Amino acid sequence: MTEVAGSAPRLPDAVRLRIDLAYDGSPFAGFARQPDQVTVQGTLEGALSRCLGQPVATTCAGRTDRGVHALAQVVHLDVDPSVAVAQRSLVDLLAGSPTSPELRRRIDGLVGPPITVWGVRRVPADFDARRSATGRVYRYRLVDADTAAPLERFDRWHIGVPLAIGPMRRAAAALIGQHDFAAFCRRVPGRSSVRRLDRIAISRPAPGRISVRLAGAAFCHNQVRAIVGCLVEVGRGGWQPERVAEVLAARDRRELARVAPPHGLTLERVSYGRRFPAAPMRVDEA
């Protein structure tokens, strides 16, 4: 914001905000707004509109399906600061502060318990929550013990039979690198299914628990859940590890094993290179 001698400070035409948030996907029909459905985007935009006194439209780092969770979702939006309500809400940002703890608290209070707003900050106009992202990490959690605790049924896939991690790791190795993941992606007309998968880490953090982390620049729709479904089929002995490479080469979705259910999946991290902080950006990091 610049000042001219003898006049009020001149407001910028628009202020771009970055919102870092997390959510429990259980009560939502996915991230993206939908008519007559409760969604993360619809809930967040409703809260933002109340705080800023104007309609808003957000762009996210990665849309999540119904029931999928996020620890590190990021959205951006442009705000017209000439609106009086917005001026009051953005007062610290317009004065030069990079973050707004007060606006964060207000939004967090309006979105309800299933959503946590980690932070609100002003960003340059060329920041794009989706296009500026250089990497994303998803985690899928599994329970292969006989039973699962009640709360675990909301964020883990309960398999109920022991899985062999060694064969799962051998199968996953064939997916590393840049490939056409057509067999693992829900087809979207006009969009490529070529993606680069940098890492798949399969670990057992505790008895009866398995964690599958997948890292890459970007993922197509259903890709992570389709991969996990195939790896589980290997782990339970229904497929040989080599079968996953054959499915990849076939580029035919009909060759898939079961697609893993959504509730075990969490968007865990979004990276923005050296220029912007990675998510999750917590309040104490602002």
Confidence of residue 286 (pLDDT cuts 50, 70, 90): very low
pLDDT of residue 99: 93
Q: β-strand 265-271 against 69-79: which pairing, if any?
A: parallel
Q: β-strand 194-206 against 177-180: which pairing, if any?
A: antiparallel
Spatial separation of the C-alpha atoms in residues 56 and 54, rounded to whole Å:
6
**Domains in the chain, CATH or no CATH each:** 15-132 (3.30.70.580), 135-268 (3.30.70.660)
- 87 has pLDDT over 80: yes
**What are the tens digits of pLDDT across the range 253-285?**
989 988 999 999 999 999 999 999 999 876 555
Q: What average pLDDT does range 136-145 have in this prediction? A: 96
Q: Is 71 left (phi over 0), alpha (psi -120 to 50) or beta?
A: alpha
Q: Which of 13, 24, 36, 65 is catalytic?
A: 65
Spatial separation of the C-alpha atoms in residues 142 and 144, rounded to whole Å:
6
Residues in CB range of 164: below 8 A, 6 or more apart: 234, 235, 236, 237
Decide: 140 and 209 in contact? Cβ < 8 Å.
no
**What are the tens digits of pLDDT across the range 164-213?**
999 999 999 999 999 999 999 988 888 899 999 999 999 999 999 999 99
* pTM for the model: 0.92
Q: What average pLDDT does range 99-103 have in this prediction? A: 95
Q: Output DSSP code: residue 12.
A: P
Active site residue 80: no
Q: How far apart are the first and last CA of the chain?
A: 21
Angle at 144 between CA 197 and CA 204, to 5 degrees: 55
- 67 has pLDDT over 90: yes
pLDDT of residue 192: 93
In the chain, the percentage of residues whose pLDDT exceeds 70 is 95
Spatial separation of the C-alpha atoms in residues 171 and 243, rounded to whole Å:
8
- 214 has pLDDT over 60: yes
pLDDT of residue 44: 98
Q: What average pLDDT does range 220-229 have in this prediction? A: 96
